[in-house]
Amino acid sequence: MPGTPAPAAAYGGGRGERPLRIALLTYKGNPFCGGQGVYVRHLSRELARLGHTVEVIGAQPYPVLDEGVTLTELPSLDLYRQPDPFRTPKRDEYRDWVDMLEVATMWTGGFPEPLTFSLRARRHLAARRGEFDVVHDNQTLGYGLLGDLGAPLVTTVHHPITVDRRLDLDAARNRRARASVRRWYGFTRMQRRVARRLPSVLTVSGSSRGEIVEQLGVRPERVHVVHIGADTGLFSPDASVPEVPGRIVTTSSADVPLKGLVHLVEALAQVRTEVPEAHLVVVGRRPEKGPVAEALRRHGLGHAVEFVKGISDAELAGLVRGAQIACVPSLYEGFSLPAAEAMATGTPLVATTGGAIPEVAGRDGETCLAVPPGDSGALAVALGRLLGDAGLRARLGAAGRERVLRKFTWEQAARGTVAHYREAMAQRPRAARALGDTEAGLADPHGTTEIPEAAAAPACVPH
């Protein structure tokens, strides 16, 4: 059935099937900056373990990769790097017209990286025609990826960034802020246009599939669900790790409305009236201003909320194991890796029902406690209930671990992805005829590319 996970027998890598040469594109690959970097790292590792040759082609911040995977750096001007984001490059940094386009777009309030990376990737792939069996784009969705790349294209869309745009618009406080948000997310026009022309789109959940069809206008039969998952060897229970009374842990890669962190802070303030030792550890950067910072000051929670960033996967696993509760307060998620990883450690989960989170977390009272998104009161009730019931924590933790082992592992994700690579390779002649010269013209690398209104985005967007 189109758009559903492929059966295990079709996953590829079996007897008689040759290993593939895979180019995996990622315009932003830092695993500490959001889910896309995590996806690239773990998927590439598992593809290599299956015997395939994987070359990740990426821009700054460069991905962290495991042994057996090659990184080819395709540098941008890195305009959003710390400590000087939105910098103006020096004259000798400019290499070509794509660099000039990148800076000009930023100067006009735009976010150029999806477009400019796609143009650089197209040029790079053209110089290496015949070296790859398949090109896998990790949600760049830039004009440069239309037309003939020398190998069939498969694209992963974790969720449409139009969802982020809508939530940020809803949170904007005035007309000027809303205008800024619209410029911020102007690149989504390009992503919609490109997505509609793609022959094969992978996504990570049924919820995301529905959003892609509805918001990006991709034909349903072209969108296929391949669930991702947790590293269940690393994220596993460890009885030797002491449980810290009152500890709640969450992951928030950016202080944006989508992540719902402000609602968790509000909930924590309520919980501490009944459970004074309750405290929160946030894996992410402490915001200096904005709704979360304001909530921390308003409730006097500076001492009860700790932010940690740049920790290793092993340190993250240890942190989650030691918590009494893991929490995912997001208003929307296309999948929710933090939920899967927490469940894999056997740590009981409180999560909202935003987006695809229920697909991962399971049923309320069976594998998690589920609450409506954006409801700090309901979140506080669930957290207080779980903190006060050791038996419930043990039951939910064990059930969550079993669910992840059964449904959400990276090996399963890699096998499912390979199945769609092989399908794309088999369908390439027909897809090439369908694309035609008109679509290829949209991605002319010599400067005639149709460029929509661009928009700025922070270094960690899309999530």
User: Which of the listed CATH numbers 3.40.47.10, 2.40.30.10, 3.40.50.2000, 3.40.920.10 matches domain 8-229+410-442?
Assistant: 3.40.50.2000
In order of 38, 72, 149, 297, 421, the CA distances from 43 in angstroms are 8, 16, 22, 40, 13
- The chain-wide mean pLDDT, for the chain, equals 88
CA distance 304 to 278: 8
For 136-159, what is the mean pLDDT?
Answer: 96
146, two tokens:
């239309």
Q: What pLDDT is attached to residue 6? A: 44
Q: What pLDDT is attached to residue 33? A: 60
Q: Are strands 134-138 and 153-156 parallel, antiparallel or unpaired?
A: parallel
- CATH fold match for the domains 8-229+410-442 and 247-407: yes
SS3 content of the chain, % helix, strand, coil (to 5): 45, 15, 45
pLDDT > 80? residue 431: no
Place of tokens 């239309």: 146
pLDDT digits (tens, 9 = 90+) for 7-45: 433 444 445 589 999 999 999 877 666 678 889 999 999
CB distance 270 to 383 below 8 Å: no
Query: Domain coordinates of the chain in residue numbers?
Result: 8-229+410-442, 247-407
CA distance 301 to 295: 8
Provide the pLDDT confidence category of residue 185 given band limits of 50, 70 and 90.
confident
Helix axes 261-271, 376-387, angle to 10 degrees: 50
Provide the pLDDT confidence category of residue 438 given band limits of 50, 70 and 90.
very low
**Could you tell me the maximum CA-CA distance found in the chain, to the nearest angstrom?**
66
CA distance 169 to 339: 26
For 329-349, what is the mean pLDDT?
Answer: 95
Number of H helices, E strands in the chain: 15, 13
pLDDT digits (tens, 9 = 90+) for 402-429: 999 999 999 999 999 999 999 999 987 6
**Environment class of residue 411 by beta-carbon count within 10 Å: exposed (0-12), middle (13-18) or buried (19+)?**
middle
SS3 71: strand
CA distance 243 to 128: 52
pLDDT digits (tens, 9 = 90+) for 70-103: 999 999 999 998 888 899 999 999 999 999 999 9
pLDDT > 70? residue 105: yes
Place of tokens 């000027």: 176
Fold of 247-407: Rossmann fold (3.40.50)
In the chain, the percentage of residues whose pLDDT exceeds 70 is 87
pLDDT > 70? residue 53: yes
CA distance 291 to 293: 6
Instruction: Supply the Cα-derived Rg of the chain in whole angstroms.
Output: 22
pLDDT digits (tens, 9 = 90+) for 37-48: 889 999 999 999
Four-point Cα dihedral 40, 46, 52, 56, nearest 10: 20
SS3 108: coil
For 238-263, what is the mean pLDDT?
Answer: 90
Strand partners, 343: none
Q: Tell me the pTM.
A: 0.82
pLDDT digits (tens, 9 = 90+) for 115-131: 999 999 999 999 999 99
In order of 61, 256, 325, the CA distances from 287 in angstroms are 20, 10, 23
